[in-house]
Amino acid sequence: MRNAPTILHLDMDAFYASVEQAAKPSLRGKAVVVGGLGPRGVVATASYEARVFGVHSAMPMAQARRLAPNAAYLVPRFSVYRSVSEQVMALLRELSPLVEPLSLDEAFVDLEARGAAWDAESARQTGTRLRADIRAVTGLTGSVGLAASKMLAKIASEQAKPDGLVLIEPGTERALLGPMPVRTLPGVGPATGDHLRRAGITTVEELAEAGEDELVRLLGRAHGQALYAMALARDDRPVVAERETKSVSVEDTYDVDIHDRLRVGLEVQRLADRCVRRLREAGLSGRTIVLKVRRYDFSTLTRSETLRGPTDDPAVVREAAARLLESVDTTGGVRLLGVGVSGLADYTQEDLFAQAAGERASEPPVEEADPVVVEEEPRPEERHWRPGQDVRHAAYGPGWVQGSGLGRVTVRFETPQSGPGRVRTFRVDDAELEPAEPLPLVQGPDHPPPCPGQSDGPRHRAPPELPEAGLSATADQEGPGTCQASSVPASLPKSWSGRVEDGAMSRP
């Protein structure tokens, strides 16, 4: 472990929820929960305002709604999160060539690699500038930890949350770690923590006092030795710039168990196509096709097949996944399906047609494939609007979907640069309302902010009044073409939490 605290760990604060708050002025300072909105959805991220009520990531969405019924519940917008993440990672790479991303919102940086820091004071200054740059470029906040090792830098960033910086001075590591619970150390999950607790070990100091031999006896050689070293604040892991991708996979959890075998097969084909799209976007191919099936009783089965060479051919992946499905009994119902490809390479074996089961018809490129429509399902007569979705109205300009149901969609018209906007309700098939691309969180000089309440084109007449249908526009609406930031209540009205259940907004 080095002597200077020049390993930096950045963790963006409540990343998905913070992006949504930055994009939607009316949600700033409010409880926001991002995740799957179906009956089996889970929380991806909760804003700090929502965490006050006990909501946290990986919690079932139904439980989150019970804890925070008046929060705004939004679907994830991963394209926006990836775009913001790329801006943040670009700032990190300006500091050092050694940047190790852990996720969209988290990364390690070796500040010594390019001379960005060499002692405690220079490291602190670099971390302070980084936080300011992130705020200027993205409008968001991140927490920074600085230490002499990756383990300690991550612990420091946790202590810094939210929107702070913590530097662990060399020589103070043991005193800092000692009183912390054993779960603080990486690799100590609930099971290991319970095992240590039963042995009378609850803090890092007690872990160090137990000694290496005792930890090896309790946890096995590899885990015991590693944990003892961490308890002594020893961590020599380097920052690795390129983390090798081992597999590419996609999966879907279904709100209602799928029993029909044909529907299961069609879902597997659709997932195979999505998986190949990700492969091609990454410039990869793979040899091993993996099928994952979680059945009605939560039992999870995994099947795999290894081809003679790597491929990114959608037909080959589809047919291999279909063959794997044949060996799985799905009669009781399926709640989750997944398709993955491993054994990755950066080239493709061209002659793989013999691997397909029999001759296959000519297939369109995967990029042009239309989504599979299950025949037994009725054709939807209405457009489906999702809470948090970006939209644009011909008369009122850009906004986002607040909720939908009963043939109505409620939209709040505001932009990242405006004040909180007005709410209006339309029929779901309103021809003047369309999905839109997300607006940048921080407006550049070449793109003046659009004015909510005003379209880029000619003005149109306001839509006619809509009958009461469980959703209604606010009473203080203005005519089209205005550019006034409206005042909003200090908290979200109890009549709306942006939640959709079975296609309709639930009432309080």
Which residues pair with residue 344 across a beta bridge?
A: 286
Paired tokens of 271: 């997932």
Q: Give the helix ranges, DSSP H, for 52-198.
A: 61-67, 78-95, 120-138, 150-160, 173-177, 190-198
- Judged by phi (left if over 0) then psi (alpha if -120 to 50, else beta), residue 136 lies in alpha
Q: Indicate which residue of 20, 106, 267, 319 is catalytic.
A: 106
Neighbour count for residue 262 (Cβ, 10 Å): 11
Is there a catalytic annotation at residue 106? yes
Distance in angstroms (rounded) separating the CA atoms of residues 245 and 127? 29
Element (H, E) at 254: strand 247-258
Q: Give the type of residue at 75.
A: V
Contacts of 147 (CB under 8 A, 6+ apart): 5, 7, 9, 153, 155, 156, 167, 168, 173
Nearest CA to 50 among 492, 504, 500, 507? 492
Confirm if 441 and 378 have CB atoms less than 8 A apart.
no
- Of 17, 44, 41, 37, the C-alpha closest to 28 is 17
**Nearest alpha carbon to residue 77 among 437, 350, 375:** 437
The candidate with the shortest Cα–Cα distance to 274, out of 303, 310, 250, is 250
- Per the CB < 8 A criterion, the answer to whether 505 and 423 are in contact is no
Q: How distant is the alpha carbon of residue 69 from its chain centre? A: 22
410/495 Cα distance (integer angstroms): 12
What crossing angle do the helices spanning 212-219 and 190-198 adopt, rounded to 10°? 120
First to last CA, the chain: 56
Residue with tokens 């051919």: 313
**In sequence order, what DSSP letters do the residues of 378-432 get, joined into one string?**
PPP-S----TT-EEEETTTEEEEEEEEETTEEEEEE--TTS-S-EEEEEETT-TT
- Judging by DSSP bridges, how do beta strands 72-74 and 32-35 pair with one another? parallel
Distance, CA of 86 to CA of 253 (rounded, Å):
28
User: How far does Cα 388 stand from its chain's mean position?
Assistant: 14
Q: Which positions are catalytic? A: 106
